[in-house]
Each structure stands twice: as C-alpha cells, then as structure tokens.
Amino acid sequence: MTPYLVMDLHYEDIRRDYGRRSLSRKDLTDDPFDLVRLWLQEAVDDPKVLEPTAVLVCTSTPDGHPSSRTVLLKELLGEEFIFYSNYESRKGQQMAANPHVSLTFLWHELERQIHVEGTVRHLEPEISDQYFATRPYKSRVGARISPQSHPIPDRNYIYTHFVTEAAKFALQTVPRPDNWGGFAVLPSRIEFWQGRPSRLHDRFLYERQEDNSWLINRLAP
C-alpha cells in the first residue's frame, strides 16, 4: 500500500473584515419576533442568499454529547419556529428524550446570525397534515418510505421502496405517515448578531422573563 502524505492545514491568514451593516439599540423591537421576521424576509429577498431559511438544529445525545444538522424553517407560528422531519430520525428521538434545543440561522452574505435556545414539541397533527398536503408528490412519497438516519444497504434499497410506494399511490392522495410531522420550538433566548469591523460585532440578547416579557442586553463581541 502506498503511504499517503499527511499535511497540516493552516488557515490562520484567512481573515475577512465585516462592515456592511450595524445593529444598535434603536434598531431593536420590543418583541424579538418582529426582528426575526424582518431579518428572515431580508434574507429571502436578497438574491445572493442561497438558502435563507436554512437553520442549524442542535440537540444532545442520551450521554450528553452535542448533535447537529441543518433543516429548513417552514413557518413562524406565533412565537414558535416550525420545521418538519421524521419523528423516528436521530434528531427526532433525541428531541423526544430531551426537548431542550438550539437553532442557528447564519447568513454569510448579510454578515448576520440569529441564535435561539428553547424547548421543542410536536406540532398538532392537523397542522402537519395541512403542510404535508402542500409538499410535492415525490417529497410526500419519500417521507413515507425513508427510515431517516437509519442504515440502509445501498441506494438501490431506497430507490426500490420509493418506486413501489409511488405506484401504490398513483393518482391518489398520499397520506402523511404517523412518524413524520412538525416540530415547534418555543424560545427562551434569542440573540441577534451583526458582523462589524475589527471583530467588534454587535450582539443583542433577548431573554424571556417569568411574566413572558423580554429582557434585552447588549453583549460583548
């Protein structure tokens, strides 16, 4: 066997200064969701942002190790962030065991981030049904046959199951499977991060109080 060359990788000289925008106290809203909606819409409207609703969902394993993956935010309902997935997936099982999660939106093109911490629950079945019905036909079929996060022997395995299930529901309504639906995250902390020059970034933290109001503090960068 030919030995391969092990090379150290150095990225210390890669630096980029931020300075497109700023965030000050006067830019804040009393309700953090007003600002969340504003930032999300600005990301959606900017053609340079490729996946404006992509959000990193972090959970924990049973032994306390962090676990993360990226999903797409589908709705903001009231004060809850909504995304959909398989309840029996790795993240689904982790959230069933420990409902404390975090969410991170990162928009490189806007030099912005939103960090959320809160608790998650299953969305009401009727709301999951309504959303599932709007998904493309092939996405609905895929949700029914995919044992998400579980090992499969090869790609042909999932493709064969897809073809079989698609034939079963040809010209019919594809029903939502019981193990697939919405997750709703109710936040207790929401941080808004805006990149600034010299790494002196603007950071504002909203913390939910017992009376359901929000305490706002500027954080050191």
Q: Which of 20, 69, 199, 218 is catalytic?
A: 199
Quote the CA–CA distance of 139 and 146 in Å, as a whole number. 10
The pairs formed by 17-21 with CB atoms below 8 angstroms and a separation of 24 or more are 17/197, 17/198, 18/111, 18/195, 18/196, 18/197, 18/201, 19/111, 19/195, 19/196, 19/197, 20/110, 20/111, 20/195, 21/110, 21/111, 21/112, 21/194, 21/195
Residue 8: phi and psi, rounded to 5, are: -75, 145
The residues near 167 (Cβ < 8 Å, ≥ 6 apart) are: none
Quote the CA–CA distance of 39 and 53 in Å, as a whole number. 11
The answer to whether residue 199 is catalytic is yes
The residues annotated with a catalytic role in the active site are 199
